[in-house]
Amino acid sequence: MQVKGFGAGYLVGDVAATTRFYADVIGLPVTVELDWFASVNAGAPGFEISFVQRGHESIPPGYRAQEVSGLSFGLVVEDAHAEAKRLEEAGVELVAPVVDEVYGQRHFYVADPNGVLLDVIEMIAPDPEWAAANLPAS
């Protein structure tokens, strides 16, 4: 299989509200917006997050009513603290505060209107002791 892009999609109850959250609050550009389907660009050409109206006929019958469960997306940013502040000022509740991880990430979580977790990540240097014990020698 020669993959030329990646699209993660999930069923939602309100396509318009979900699209507005990702476009207006998170800041991802809308690439397609229909009444039953929308897609936003996740930072690089060919990488999309899509929303399909729950119950839509384009979804196989046994899957049309499924609720979102256990889904999360990671969004890599330049400055996690600045993004956390921006989102909080916009009225978005942080599900988990900004923390620095020994493995080289500064991150926090927010949830979209459907309960999907967004892990907002800034790459930082890993803890030297952790790196020595866990990463291959360069």
Span 15-27, pLDDT tens digits: 999 999 999 999 9
Q: Tens of pLDDT along 77-88?
A: 999 999 999 999
Amino acid identity, position 90 = A
Give ∠ CA 136-137-138 in degrees, rounded to 5. Answer: 110
Strands of the sheet with 105-111, listed across from one edge: 72-76, 117-123, 105-111, 94-101
Statement: the pTM of the whole predicted model exceeds 0.95: no
pLDDT bucket at 32, cuts 50 / 70 / 90: very high
| Block residue for tokens 């459907």 | 114
